[in-house]
Chain A
Amino acid sequence: MAVLSEEQTMLRDAAKSWVGEKSPVTALRKLRDSGNADGFDRAAWNEMAEMGWAGILIPEEFGGSGLGYLTLGLVLEETGRTLTASPLVSTALTATTALLLGGTDTQKKAWLPKIAEGKAIATLAVDEGAHHAPAKIALKAMKSGSGWMLSGKKTFVLDGGGADFLIVAARTSGKIAEASGITLFLVDGNAKGLSRQKLKSVDSRGAANLSFDNVEVGADAVLGSVDQGYGILEATLDRARAGLAAEMLGSATQAFETTLDYLKTRVQFGQLIGTFQSLQHRAAKMYTDLELTRSCVEAALSAIDNNSNDVPQLASLAKAKANEVCHLVSNEMVQMHGGIGMTDAHDAGLYLKRARAAEATFGSAAYHRDRYASLLEY
């Protein structure tokens, strides 16, 4: 664990006690079983916003605390431990980052204070297929009067079903898969011509597919510069990847600790199963992988806070390692619990389902390995 300031320690401890009290794993189970359409609990999100979590990245002048990415990562790790479903990733992390990196003062004033208060849900709409591919943008934006007209589709948009506004990556020139010619637009969630299909995924979160049928936006809806949106998009995604990796580290750590507790209590053959060396070594390897992943996540978040030039590498490293460790630990959680781990009543299945959904979000391990190699030019 990184060496923390007093303020960070207090926030982390507050997050730990809040999720334990208000948002244990049973909250996600309840959310799933109630058929909640948003994919998160609005009352819980209000409480999170009241504690300042929605505005951790937002500077004080726009109503936040401006504490930075490592600090937000501490909160995400705690919410990840109990699989808390909330717009922290879509809104407080990803959309906020895009506004901070590319927004004009007017755009920031319009949206950041609302985000910090928990009054606006926002999200980034980037992918158009089953796999993360931020350059493969086909959704078209054409000049229309003084503004733009958007047509196309977006897939698996986090909290996309109920978001108040969307940041949409669109193609304004060039061919699909080219980095240049991409422009980011701010689009109202209730815009005419926008239809949203809420999806029921294994992790019970609120992802949606969006369809844009000649959606009109003004010239002031452009975030950053026309045709030059890819730089902001990639920088935004890197911050989202590192933050999501922190949440995943929390989930994997809790899945591991729950499993370790089971190894210390379950008796078979007259022995605690945790005394069997085959299980001890697998536990020790998981612990090793968790420690290595923690180093990567903290390094990526710190690099973002310090504006280091190796953010892209470290973000891919953190996301790839978090994917791998979540994959391993969630599988081992089921296996080491045996039959009980296969039941819906046990939490193992919830950790497994969330792990895979988070792994596929903002790039799989294979995606980030390929990107890491390309960044190193081989």
Chain B
Amino acid sequence: MSDLESFRSETRAWLEANCPPSMRGAGAPPVGEESDSPIWGGRRAKWTNPEGKLWLDRMAAKGWTAPTWPKEYGGGGLAPAEARVLQQEMNRIKARPPLLSFGIWMLGPVLLEYANEEQKREHLPKIARGEIRWCQGYSEPGAGSDLASLRTKCEDKGDHFLINGQKIWTSYANYADWIFCLVRTDTSKKHEGISFVLFDMTTPGVEARPIKLISGNSPFCETFFTDVKVPKGNMVGKLNGGWEIAKRLLQYERQNISAGGFGGGSGYDLEHAAKDHVGTENGKLADGDLRARITQHKMEARAFALTVRRLEEEAKAKKGPSPAVSIVKYAAAKVNQERTELLVEALGHQGLGWEGEGFSADEIAATRGWLRAKGNSIEGGTSEVNLNVVAKRVLGLLDHQ
């Protein structure tokens, strides 16, 4: 038996013994985007199902919430091939992920790359154990696509930094314990005047206000900083050296969004929704035009999934995401927006209910998911910015003079 095969059988046995019944199979609760779900961990996680906490703790003890991080920082120390086996074995028993975490997807990888030893030891294990929930302080009211024009001021006050300013579109800031934040430390330069700092959201002067979206949900906040004192040891990398880290983190963010695609919304399967509401003739959807468009979308979605898998295999050799990941973020947004639009179209008026009687939970979720998806081509870099990135970094086309 090869090492990988014995790892697989050990992993299978361990998961069988340790994944609680309510965390696996068709009966496991869906992984929603609910901002207050305990699956996001953090100081304020309310575990309504004790098996959810048990599952997190057991996986964290193995380091398997962050399978490829080094063991000394709370990771599993697995090789990429072993991590894939772990995922396959979790998929096999339909195990729910033990933890959803911006810390694992985005911050952790850049801390491993850019943070000092003390910072790594302080933050990484708490991320891996799901003890601290992080949010991302990037966009500002005047700095969206042009992120580097951000103005949140960070002044050196000798023994501490003083931060004043405002962030916006901070995902789940009202539930987060800590923030990784881009701040301006030099106003005379643009990209070279940005630094990357970490601080506790309970620090006096920090306030997060949820923003209600067209979907009726509030996954994002406006976040205000008024004379927030931050210890000087909380800066990652060099003073004014934050932009490189910021961009790297965006690559991880786009890669992560891309890898899962944009999920959420209704679990209603597109062709079944169409069969139910449009009907069939001789086994084919009665609306031939809709059938063709659904199929074109499904083929695009399959092509997208195959591309994610291919880029992962190729990235194994290179370590870290390549600039080509930007095409995947662009494609992921397009695919999900098409899916949610087609689902609402297939449901007809049943897909346009807001709440209350007359609409099933799946139908309401389809409506909300369709509205939520409009943000897919805006968040994490608009599709236009992603196309700019591809044109310049991948294709080598120049800026307009």
Q: Name A residues whose Cβ lies closer than 8 Å to a Cβ of B.
A: 1-3, 260, 263-264, 271-272, 274-277, 280-281, 283-285, 287-288, 291-296, 298-299, 317, 320-321, 366, 369-370, 372-374, 376-378
Contacts and interface: CB of A to CB of B under 8 A. Distances in A.
A366 B291 CA distance: 11
B274 interface: yes
B302 interface: yes
Contacts of A291: 307, 324, 327
Given A272-B398, A291-B307, A298-B310, A284 B298 contact: no
Given A275-B399, A277-B400, A287-B395, A373 B307 contact: no
Query: Dominant SS at the A interface?
Result: helix
B396 A320 contact: no
B331 interface: yes
A374 B295 CA distance: 10
A299 B397 contact: no
B332 to A, nearest CB: 11
Contacts of A283: 391, 395, 397
Q: Which of A3, A272, A291 has the most CB of B within 10 A?
A: A291
Contacts of A320: 299
Given A2-B310, A378-B275, 20 more contacts: A2-B313, A271-B400, A272-B398, A275-B400, A281-B388, A283-B397, A284-B327, A284-B387, A287-B327, A287-B395, A288-B330, A292-B300, A292-B303, A292-B331, A295-B303, A317-B302, A369-B292, A373-B284, A376-B298, A378-B291
Nearest to B285: A378
Nearest to B396: A264
A65 B6 CA distance: 34
Nearest to B390: A284
A263 B292 contact: no
B224 interface: no
Given A2-B310, A285-B387, A378 B284 contact: yes
Interface residues of B, number: 44
Nearest to A318: B303
Contact of B397 (A264, A285, A292, A294): A264
The 7 lowest CB-CB distance pairs between A and B, nearest first, are A280-B391, A284-B390, A295-B306, A295-B307, A292-B303, A284-B387, A378-B271
Given A284-B390, A299-B306, A378 B314 contact: no
A187 to B, nearest CB: 35
Contact of A284 (B285, B299, B313, B391): B391
B276 to A, nearest CB: 11
Contacts of A378: 271, 274-275, 280, 283-285, 291, 294
Contacts of B314: 1, 3
Interface in B286-304: 291-292, 294-296, 298-300, 302-304
B377 to A, nearest CB: 13
Given A287-B390, A373-B284, A263 B307 contact: no
Contacts of A285: 387
A157 B33 CA distance: 54
